[in-house]
Amino acid sequence: MIKIAPSILSADFANLARDIQAVSSADCLHVDVMDGAFVPNITIGVPVVQSIRRCTGMFLDVHLMIDKPARYIEAFAKAGADLLSVHLEADHPARIAEALRIMGDCGVKKAVALRPITRAEAVLPYIQELDMVLVMTVEPGFGGQKFMEDQLDTIHQVRAIIDRHNPACELEVDGGIAPGTAPLVIEAGANVLVAGSAVYGADDIPGAIAALRGSHRRMR
């Protein structure tokens, strides 16, 4: 099943409750946390995740684009995240393993995220314990960027690793996902599609979510 995860980075932060309600037909809510160090942008922190948790029952998929994320796992879990993604480039392997261990202790689902420069094999040390792998299809930091077609190879490779080692693990893609690119990433093996501008920029938001979800059917 294809799942759609609208990214609230493209929402109006002064009307966040309204804009979260607008995507309630989606499968989960994608929350982009940026620290101004791992990426050149600053967005959402722990108190905002706490407020989001109070205003929706949607599954919260929290994408941590922060350095040394192990420091903040417990705080985001307590704030109400259902799943946390940490970037493999954000710390040493032992500290990434530690971040995943804390997620397990806190009872949140575990994901690792890959910048475009990172090879698919980098997930191998962690794959058996993951609930999701997130493959970036743009350089993390900003919404509204152009989809990087080169990343289709990485998606294919991560799909093969998942099928071999942990078939229950989900494969999420993030960046530049729109009606034109969704069929490509689905064909390459993704099953969770993050979309910011393609959802919030649409006149008919539920229609845009349904269209992205049905992208693979149009392909055949």
Binding region for ligand DX5 (CB under 6 A):
7, 9-10, 30, 32, 63, 138, 140-145, 174-177, 194-198
Catalytic residue among 19, 35, 61, 174: 174
Q: Which does 196 bind (CB under 5 to 8 A by kind): Zn ion, ligand DX5, none?
A: ligand DX5
Rounded CA separation 205/93 (Å):
39
32 is catalytic: yes
Name the minimum Å distance from CB 203 to ligand DX5: 16
Q: Which does 189 bind (CB under 5 to 8 A by kind): ligand DX5, Zn ion, none?
A: none
105 is catalytic: no
Rounded CA separation 171/189 (Å):
7
Size of the site for Zn ion (CB under 5 A): 3
172 binds Zn ion per the rule CB under 5 A: no
Q: Which does 69 bind (CB under 5 to 8 A by kind): ligand DX5, Zn ion, none?
A: none
Of 29-37, 51-59, 157-165, 205-213, the segment contacting Zn ion by CB under 5 A is: 29-37
Name the minimum Å distance from CB 95 to ligand DX5: 21
| Full DSSP string of the chain | --EEEEBGGGS-GGGHHHHHHTTTTSS-EEEEEEBSSSSS-B---HHHHHHHHHH--S-EEEEEE-SSGGGGHHHHHHHT-SEEEEEGGGS-HHHHHHHHHHHHHHT-EEEEEE-TTS-GGGGTTTGGG-SEEEEESS-TT-SSPPP-TTHHHHHHHHHHHHHHH-TT-EEEEESS-STTTHHHHHHHT--EEEESHHHHT-SSHHHHHHHHHTHHHHH-
Q: Which of 32, 35, 61, 172 binds Zn ion (CB under 5 A)?
A: 32
Name the minimum Å distance from CB 105 to ligand DX5: 26
Catalytic residue among 19, 27, 32, 61: 32
Residue whose pair of structure tokens reads 């609230």 in the numeric block: 8
Name the minimum Å distance from CB 174 to Zn ion: 4
Q: Which residue is nearest to Zn ion (CB)?
A: 63
Q: Which residue is nearest to ligand DX5 (CB)?
A: 196
Annotated catalytic residues are: 32, 174
